[in-house]
């Protein structure tokens, strides 16, 4: 089992007072490993604001004095992990210690697989592969080039676009998103209270960001959540259509609508992420989006010799 990281480091769970350091650390790691920072401060705030979040249980930091050098957290009942080491502090055993902490914690929670997403062919990718992690799926960051638009499509008869602008509509949108991804192998049902901090309770949320497709008989059947990131660019955070209403062009209608509304609010670039579990990559490429980054999700049995008992 990995021991305390070398040197005069302290370890403890993080607190809300560490938020700025956690944000700076993740940003520095992503710039080094992925070429640009993806995380936003509001992402961390949303994650930590979930009712089920317990920073004393779910997070761990490695400190040199008051400076945060490494950070890890677990979520989804221990099935997902995120871990980062500041580029200036690598090679001192911090990453190995944090990986062992996530695996040990996950094993204690009884999960059979713990996974983490990292940039493809990066140092974290090589580190986790050497630790016995295997690829579970691939994710892509896609961009709609500046000045381009997603081709417009007409909705079929019986459908209409609407803004989800009250509590009932928000809850209907949540039900669609949860149902749309219910067949994923690692899907965990999230209550409305767990979902809301990522969407309608974000500090930067505005009603125009959450758009839905309604069916005359079935109500809300498709959802698109598009927000502006810290750089003022459009980012589709969630896009889903329930099974019974797929293959009707609803996702393309929602995507075109979301990006158009973001442009009305000042966005010049538009991005989203998708992964190999959705089968949606071809749709995004077909409407003119291009892949700008590739990530992989790697997973291991935390109880195996390559996991907990290294």
**Domains defined for the chain, CATH in brackets:** 10-138 (3.40.630.30), 146-287 (3.40.630.30)
Structure tokens at 309: 């008992």
Give me the numbers of helices (H) and strands (E) for the chain, helices first please: 9, 12
- pLDDT value at residue 188: 56
- Per the CB < 8 A criterion, the answer to whether 71 and 19 are in contact is no
pLDDT tens readout for residues 150-208:
998 999 999 999 999 999 999 999 999 999 988 655 555 579 999 999 999 998 999 99
- Provide the b/e sequence for 9-47 (b: ≥16 CB within 10 Å): beeeebeeebeebbbebbbbbbebbbeebbbbbbbbbbe
- pLDDT value at residue 309: 43
List, in sequence order, every residue forming a beta bridge with 294; answer none if it has no partner: 140
- pLDDT value at residue 132: 95
List, in sequence order, every residue forming a beta bridge with 59; answer none if it has no partner: 73
Q: How far apart are CA 43 and CA 228, in angstroms?
A: 12
- Per the CB < 8 A criterion, the answer to whether 124 and 220 are in contact is no
Structure tokens at 120: 């493809």
* Mean pLDDT taken over the chain: 92
Place of tokens 């005069």: 8
Neighbours of 161 (CB within 10 A): 15
- pLDDT value at residue 304: 79
- pLDDT value at residue 308: 44
Reading the chain (310 residues) residue by residue, the pLDDT tens digits are: 455 676 679 999 999 999 999 999 999 999 999 999 999 999 999 999 999 999 999 999 999 999 999 999 999 888 999 999 999 999 999 999 999 999 999 999 999 999 999 999 999 999 999 999 999 999 999 999 888 889 989 999 999 999 999 999 999 999 999 999 886 555 555 799 999 999 999 989 999 999 999 999 999 999 999 999 988 999 999 999 999 999 999 999 999 999 999 999 999 889 999 999 888 899 899 999 999 999 999 999 998 755 444 4
- Give SS3 for 310: coil
Q: Which contiguous run of DSSP H or E holds residue 162?
A: strand 159-163
Q: Which residues contact 237 (CB under 8 A, 6 or more apart)?
A: 198, 199, 225, 226, 227
pLDDT tens readout for residues 248-264:
999 999 999 999 999 99
- Per the CB < 8 A criterion, the answer to whether 187 and 181 are in contact is yes
């Amino acid at each position: 089992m990995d021991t305390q990281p070398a040197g005069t480091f302290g370890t403890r769970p993080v607190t809300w007072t560490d938020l700025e350091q956690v944000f700076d650390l993740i940003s520095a790691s992503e710039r080094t490993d992925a070429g640009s920072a993806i995380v936003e401060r509001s992402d961390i705030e949303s994650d930590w604001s979930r009712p089920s979040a317990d920073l004393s249980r779910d997070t761990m930091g490695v400190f040199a004095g008051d400076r945060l050098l490494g950070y890890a957290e677990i979520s989804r009942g221990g099935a997902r992990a995120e871990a980062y080491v500041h580029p200036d502090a690598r090679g001192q055993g911090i990453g190995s210690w944090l990986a062992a902490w996530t695996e040990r914690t996950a094993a204690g929670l009884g999960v059979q697989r713990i996974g983490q997403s990292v940039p493809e062919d990066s140092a974290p990718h090589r580190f986790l592969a050497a630790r016995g992690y295997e690829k579970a799926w691939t994710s892509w960051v896609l961009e709609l080039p500046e000045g381009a638009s997603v081709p417009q499509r007409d909705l079929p008869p019986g459908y209409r676009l609407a803004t989800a602008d009250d509590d009932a509509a928000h809850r209907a949108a949540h039900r669609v998103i949860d149902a749309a991804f219910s067949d994923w192998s690692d899907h965990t049902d999230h209550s409305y209270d767990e979902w809301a901090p990522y969407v309608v309770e974000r500090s930067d949320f505005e009603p125009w960001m959450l758009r839905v497709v309604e069916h005359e008989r079935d109500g809300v059947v498709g959802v698109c959540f598009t927000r502006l990131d810290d750089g003022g660019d459009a980012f589709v955070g969630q896009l889903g259509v329930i099974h019974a209403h797929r293959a009707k062009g609803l996702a393309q209608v929602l995507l075109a609508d979301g990006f158009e509304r973001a442009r009305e609010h000042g966005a010049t670039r538009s991005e989203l992420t998708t992964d190999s579990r959705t089968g949606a990559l071809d749709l995004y490429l077909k409407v003119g989006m291009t892949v700008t980054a590739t990530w992989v999700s790697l997973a291991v049995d935390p109880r195996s010799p390559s996991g907990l008992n290294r």
